[in-house]
Structure 1
Amino acid sequence: MSLLVSKFGGSSVASIEKITNVALRIKAMKDQGNDLVIVISAMGDTTDELVELALKTGERNNPREMDMLLSTGEQQSAALLALTLNALQCPAVSLTGWQAGIKTDGIHSKARISGIEPDRIQSEIEQDNVVVIAGFQGLSPEGNITTLGRGGSDTSAVALAASLGAERCLIFTDVNGVYTADPRIVKEASKLKQISYEEMLEMASLGAGVLQPRAAEFAMLYNVDIEVISSFNNEPGTIITEVGKMEKHRIVSGIAHDINVAKIALFDVPDQPGIAMTVFKLLADNKINVDMIIQGGVRSNRNDIAFTIEGDELNRALPLVNKVVEKIGASGMSYGKDVAKISIVGAGMQSNPGVAAAMFEALAEANINIHMISTSEIKVSCIVDEIDINKAVQVLHSKFHLDAID
């Protein structure tokens, strides 16, 4: 008998009819002799609707109460799914994140899982119940409800699979798997049979919305195999696993893009030790993640520094950056949200020279200007004008022949 952890996203449970279809699928898995732990997201647009309700109160800066509110969406869908399963004569029990023993740090709205005490889950499994757990949430050391950020149910599922020693973590979603590019932009995009942890982590971090980056990180750290699979058909999905288990390596596995990007530039920054620390520590202390960084050439003991952050963090970042400009004696700053990030990802890039040059050639031939470049062993990312992002995805997908990938 196998233990499987499965996660169903919000689009999979957006209505009672869809919840019933999910319940029938779970019952079929249970009837095959599997022990099941199900992690569930909020129904459809419930989280957005709860945010809108909160805004009507006039209070926008109380993260503790926002976590209390937003966590109810997953609790609602968990209870409804458990009720439906029981009506189908498939014994089930729903648990909140904290009832399931999920412990987090105390950072509201972006909490990280610090540990899991699975005793209650294991007890319910021993009673032959399907255990339905509200994703996206846990309990802080202070006893407060915390949420894990958008897509946090993915992280809940992978962390539970690691803690319970599950055979596999199934991520049920509204797509058939992981594609070489966004199929809405590239009609010829191919579904990947397999992708490595490292590639998936890069793809997720670079904007591919099929899996939350921290979920990919958990899977890699604890060697949890994931299958991304459709909630709406029975086609095989994409297996996310370690490189050694893959059939063969590809030079480039996929194209990722992200339009939630803002660029900030500081001018005439003093060229002396400690300046970069001053600039970026203030952002880090305020939980604003900096992505790409470029420092310009030195002139008269000064240079320019440009960097990118998430676009929806720009309003929070600007007052902090203005403080830094004044503190370090820079001459000024500029910012904009009219940029986007395009990336190529592939484990085979480590041993194949010329991949970055081919990327730059394709963008040049399409008359797409590059503002910033960042590389790692298995990815190359460029900042381009947002207006060019769809064209950039298409030309790179064609350049690396990803429509013909196995």
Structure 2
Amino acid sequence: MALIVQKYGGTSVGTVERIQAVAEKIAGFRARGDQVVVVVSAMSGETNRLIALANDMTDTPDPREMDVLVSTGEQVTIALLSMALHKLGLDARSYTGMQVRVLTDSTHTKARIEHIDDHNMRADLDAGRVVVVAGFQGVDAQGRITTLGRGGSDTTAVALAAALKADECQIYTDVDGVYTTDPRVVDNARRLNTITFEEMLEMASQGSKVLQIRAVEFAGKYGVPLRVLHSFQEGPGTLITVDDEVDMEKPVISGIAFTRDEAKIIVRGAPDTPGIAYKILGPVGAANIEVDMIVQNVGKDGAADFTFTVHRNDFKRAQQVLHDAAEELGNPEIIGDDKIAKVSLVGVGMRSHAGVASKMFQALADEGINIEMISTSEIKVSVVIAEKYLELAVRALHSAFELDHPVAS
């Protein structure tokens, strides 16, 4: 008998029929004797509908009331799924985040989990019940409803699995695992049997949308075995695990992540003096704009060129912040480009294999693709290129590193 925490996203519970199908899947696990805790999202489109209602009411919805509003979506799903389980003859009990007492800090719309009270869940599991919990939500010390931000149901599931010391946390989605890259871009992208927490974290942060970053961080921190599976197709999925459980014959590169949501800003001709990087990025950070890649070059006559990337949604605001600070920066030229993309190679094998970056650069050069910026870490090499070459670059790299070839067993 195993204790399993399962999470089903919005598309998996998007209709009454799909909720019934999820109930039947859960019944299969109960039939073999497993204890099951289920975390669900709101039905697909419901959270967006609620946000639209709030925006129709006011241009600046109060964050506390937004949390009260959007948390109702998951409450509908937990009730319907529990009803579907009852119909199949299974004892089930639903809980909101407040009822389980998923205790969070008080940061509305993007709260962080601090503690989970597992007493009621354990009592229900011992009594043979399926426990159905609303994802994405919790409660702060003052009893106010909070939400965890987009994708927060993944984090809820991993946190419950950690609290309960579950044997496995299973994330059910509309894909059957983690792939070497997006199959919509590379037809022969291959599903990975395993990937490390480190690699998955890099893949998620560099553009892969399969799992929420905070959920992967949580799983890695608490050692929760995490598996990505398809909601309605049978298969082993992808197991996300720790480094020492990875096959020694694992390829150097596990996958290619990419994002189209990048923009680049160049501050040209800034004074090359101590503190100039802070003078440029300080106001950007104060405006709550996240900076990704950074390159500084010393130019002529005591001047420097400073280049950094931001999310495309923050591009115009970041430019305005720098224009407002231009006098303090010595009135440099400020140039922008929001037609760039970032491509990243990810793999723990880079630690023990040289030449990954040079092979990447050669593959891109062979396709006539110019590299505008480079960033590296122990297990990642990222480049910024013109957005129009993104799909060509991903396909060329996927082929160059033979990611379409099955791993030898």
Question: Normalized against structure 1, the TM-score is what?
Answer: 0.94
Letter in 2 for 1:79: A
Indicate the residue corresponding to 1:172 in structure 2. 172
1:56-111 Cα offsets, whole Å, 9 max, x none, are 22323533332222222222212211121122221112212232222223333332
Q: Using the alignment, how far apart are the partners of 2:189 and 2:33 within structure 1?
A: 36
Distance change >3 Å, CA 262–CA 107, structure 1 → 2: farther
| Shift in alpha-carbon separation, 1:14–1:142, aligned structure 2, 3 A | same
From the superposition, tell whether residues 261 and 64 of structure 1 become closer, same or farther in structure 2 (CA, over 3 Å): farther
Cα deviation, 1:201-256, whole Å, max 9, x if unaligned, reads: 11111111111111111111111111111111111111110111122232001111
CA distance in 2, matches of 1:288, 1:67: 23
5 Å matches for 1:69-218?
A: 69-218=69-218
Corresponding residue for 2:266?
265
Percentage of pairs with the same residue: 46
Is the CA contact (8 Å cut-off) linking 1:105 and 1:113 kept in structure 2?
A: yes
Q: Is the 8 A contact 2:272 2:298 kept in 1?
A: no
Contact (CA 8 Å) 1:169, 1:224: kept in 2 or not?
Answer: yes
Match of 1:363 in 2: 364
The answer to whether the Cα contact below 8 Å between 1:270 and 1:330 also exists between their aligned partners in 2 is no
Whole-angstrom distance in 1 between the partners of 2:116 and 2:279: 36
Deviation at 1:167, TM superposition (A): 0.5
Number of residue equivalences: 406
Which letter does structure 1 place at the counterpart of 2:162?
A
Moved more, 158-167 or 98-107: 98-107
Partner residue, 1:13: 13
The answer on whether the counterparts of 2:269 and 2:299 sit within 8 Å (CA) in structure 1 is no
State the distance in 1 between where 2:145 and 2:316 align. 26
Q: Which runs of 5+ in 2 are unaligned?
A: none
Aligned residue identity for 1:360 = F
Change (3 A) 1:256 1:104: same
RMSD, aligned α-carbons: 2.0
- State the shift of 1:384 in Å: 1.3
Q: Is 304-313 or 232-241 further displaced after alignment?
A: 304-313
| Mapped partners of 1:157, 1:299: distance in 2 | 54
Provide the residue aligned with 1:253 in structure 2. 254
Give 1:73's aligned amino acid: G
Give the letter for the 2:132 counterpart: V
Query: d(CA) in 2 for partners of 1:281 and 1:394?
Result: 38
Give the aligned residue type for 2:397.
L
Q: CA deviation at 1:173?
A: 0.7
* Structure 1 residue matching 2:185: 3-state secondary structure: coil
CA distance 1:97–1:310, change in 2 (3 Å): farther
8 Å CA contact 2:319, 2:334 repeated in 1: no
For residues 251 and 380 of structure 1, the distance between their equivalents in structure 2, rounded to whole angstroms, comes to 12
Return the alpha-carbon distance in structure 1 between the equivalents of residues 275 and 102 of structure 2: 39
SS of the equivalent of 1:259 reads: strand
TM (norm. structure 2) is: 0.93
Question: Which residue pairs with 1:384 in the alignment?
Answer: 385
Residue equivalent to 1:40 = 40
**1:291-336 deviations in Å (ceiling 9; x for gaps):** 1111122433332222222223445545444444444444242333
Distance 1:3 1:99 in 2: 21
Give 3-state SS (helix, strand or coil) of 2:207's partner.
coil
Structure 1 gaps, min length 5: none
